Chains A and B, each alone.
Chain A
Amino acid sequence: AQRVTQPEKLLSVFKGAPVELKCNYSYSGSPELFWYVQYSRQRLQLLLRHISRESIKGFTADLNKGETSFHLKKPFAQEEDSAMYYCALRTAGGTSYGKLTFGQGTILTVHP
C-alpha cells in the first residue's frame, strides 16, 4: 500500500529565508506526486504537480525516485506562504481511480 510521510508537522522560518518542506513516499509502482496548500480560511487547493515540472508562487518540487522524495522548496519565503501544506501521491494507471493518499501535512509559518 502507498504511504506519504511529511516528517515535520510545524516549520517556522523568517521572511526571505529558504524553506524546504519534506515529503517521502512509499509506493511500488510509478507514482504521481502533488503538493496541495490550504491558506487560512481558504479551501484546499493544488499548488503543483511533479509531471508539469513547473514553479508556482516561487515553489518548486523535484521527484527523486532514488530517495523516494518530493520535497517542496522556495529560495525566499514570504509571509503569505504561511499555510498548511500537504504532499499527496496518486497511483498511476490500473484501477487506482485517482485515489490520493495524503501526508500528515506541514504547517508553515513565515515570520516577518
Chain B
Amino acid sequence: DTAVSQTPKYLVTQMGNDKSIKCEQNLGHDTMYWYKQDSKKFLKIMFSYNNKELIINETVPNRFSPKSPDKAHLNLHINSLELGDSAVYFCASSTSVTRSSYNEQFFGPGTRLTVL
C-alpha cells in the first residue's frame, strides 16, 4: 500500500546512455513533481505536472524530459547522461495545486542515479 513509489531504487549507468525513472502514486492526487537532490543534499524542484499538464519547468537541460501518461504516473527520461546528473531523484505528489489550498507533498523513496 505504498503511497508514492519509484523504480528503480538504484541506477548505475555509463555516460552517454539514456535512462528512465518511473514514479507512481496511488493517493488519487492530481499533481506530481520531480526533485533532484545533489551530493550536498540540496533539494531542488525540476518539474511539476497537474492533471497531466506541465506546470512547473525549472531551468533543467533539455536532456531531461518528463512524461505523464496519466494522473497517477510521472516518468523522467534522461538522454545522454552526464557525470553531473549523478544525484538522488525524488518524485512527489499532492492534491491539485490549482485549488489554492494547502497541499502537502508526499515523497517517494528516491532513485539514486550514478553516472560513471
A residues engaging B (CB < 8 A)? Answer: 32, 43-46, 49, 51, 84, 86, 93, 96-102, 104-105, 107
Question: How many angstroms between the C-alpha atoms of A51 and B106 in the bound complex?
Answer: 18
B41 — nearest CB in chain A belongs to which residue?
A105
Given A32-B102, A43-B110, A44-B90, CB of A97 within 8 Å of CB of B56: yes
Quick one: given A93-B100, A104-B41, A105-B43, are A98 and B109 in contact (CB under 8 Å)?
Answer: no
Interface centre among A32, A97, A98, A100 (most CB of B within 10 A): A98
Q: B interface vs A, CB < 8 Å?
A: 4, 31, 40-45, 48, 50, 55-56, 90, 92, 94, 97-98, 100, 102-110
**In angstroms, how far is the closest chain A Cβ from the Cβ of B53?**
10
Interface residue from B43, B56, B97 paired with A86 (Cβ < 8 Å): B43
Closest A residue to B44 using CB positions: A102
Top 5 closest A-B pairs, CB basis?
A98-B97, A44-B107, A102-B43, A97-B55, A105-B41
**Which residues on B sit within 8 Å (CB–CB) of A100?**
45, 105
26 chain-A/chain-B pairs, Cβ below 8 angstroms: A43-B90, A43-B108, A43-B110, A44-B90, A46-B105, A49-B102, A51-B102, A84-B41, A86-B43, A93-B100, A96-B97, A97-B48, A97-B50, A97-B56, A97-B98, A98-B94, A98-B97, A98-B103, A98-B105, A99-B48, A99-B56, A100-B45, A100-B105, A102-B44, A104-B42, A107-B41
B48 and chain A: residue at smallest CB distance: A97
- Kindly list chain B residues whose C-beta atoms are within 8 Å of the C-beta of A93: 100
Bound-state CA distance A100–B43 (Å) is 10
Question: Nearest Cβ in chain B — how far from A102, in angstroms?
Answer: 4
Question: Using Cβ atoms and an 8 Å threshold, which residues of chain A touch B100?
Answer: 93
Residues of B contacting A97 in the complex (Cβ-Cβ under 8 angstroms): 31, 48, 50, 55-56, 97-98
